[in-house]
Amino acid sequence: MSPGLPPVRLPAPSWEGSSRAARIYRAALAALGPSRWWPAETPLEVCVGAILAQNTSWKGASRAVENLLARGVMDSPRALLALPLEELEKEIRPSGYFRQKARRLRIFLEWLQGECGGGVEGLARLPLEEARRALLALEGIGPETADSILCYGAGKLVFVVDAYTRRIGGRHGLFDPKLPYEEIRAWFEARLPADLALYREYHALLVRIGAGWCRTRPSCKGCPLSRFARPGLP
């Protein structure tokens, strides 16, 4: 484990609040159990996974990360960058958009190596807003990817908003799902206690529910949050 960074997986905290957000958290946690996300062993693995997971199933992204681990290039940005582009593309093919993602991955790794002292620890030493601005300035890093890297990789207190967060939050009457990314992020950050483990666990639970019920099952039948659902919402 890299020094100076919180573990990639933290235990799920309890949240005693009486708000709708808190009750939904408790219901999801009670039904599914702790997530201990992100599903990665190292901060670098989180970053690579976050880029490879863009607009694809986690399964494909995970297979791509496994390929890189098997090649023994996940120890450092330097090791990954030493892999020839064609080889990198070949290994990450299962995650889709493999040419685009190979290029974006390299842009990020070169920045990490050049500007951050070679690793995620350097990124974590930057103040949150500065780190976020720098990430967003990189080609291929949008708000969700940046926040996944910051929250799960660098241990920054940022709530990650993704398609499931938006869909579930809208469906259960938390906020308007058409709100801009930043406003949904602010919605959570204004309501959740300032606890990194809670930020991570909440997001992870929403993803697990989204992937488990919103997508793969035709109805909300059996969803741990069905009693919170508001009728008529998409």
Contact call for residue 140 and DNA (CB under 7 A)? yes
Distance, CA of 64 to CA of 85 (rounded, Å) = 14
- Which one of the spans 23-31, 56-64, 118-126, 222-230 is the region binding DNA (CB under 7 A)? 56-64
List all residues 6 or more positions away from 137 whose beta carbon is below 8 Å from its beta carbon: none
| 139 within 8 A of 104, measured Cβ to Cβ | yes
We find the least distance from the C-beta atom of residue 147 to DNA, in angstroms, to be 8
CB of 158 to DNA, least distance (A): 12
100 binds DNA (CB under 7 A): yes
d(CA 184, CA 87): 38
- Least distance from C-beta 131 to DNA, angstroms? 15
Amino acid at the residue 150:
L
Q: How far apart are CA 65 and CA 37, in angstroms?
A: 16
CB of 71 to DNA, least distance (A): 16
Q: How many CB atoms lie within 10 A of CB 174?
A: 20
Question: Per CB under 7 A, does 97 bind DNA?
Answer: yes
Selected from 120, 123, 148, 209, the binder of DNA by CB under 7 A is 148
State the Cα angle at 144 between 143 and 149, rounded to 5°. 100
145 binds DNA (CB under 7 A): yes
Residue 55 contacts DNA per CB under 7 A: yes
Could you give the CA distance from residue 121 to residue 106 in angstroms, rounded to a whole number? 18
**Beta carbon of residue 75, minimum distance to DNA (angstroms, whole number):** 22
Alpha-carbon distance of 197 to 179, in angstroms, equals 25
Residue 123 contacts DNA per CB under 7 A:
no
The footprint of DNA (CB under 7 A) covers 37-39, 50, 53-60, 93-94, 96-101, 138-146, 148, 152, 160, 162-164, 180, 207, 210-211, 215-216
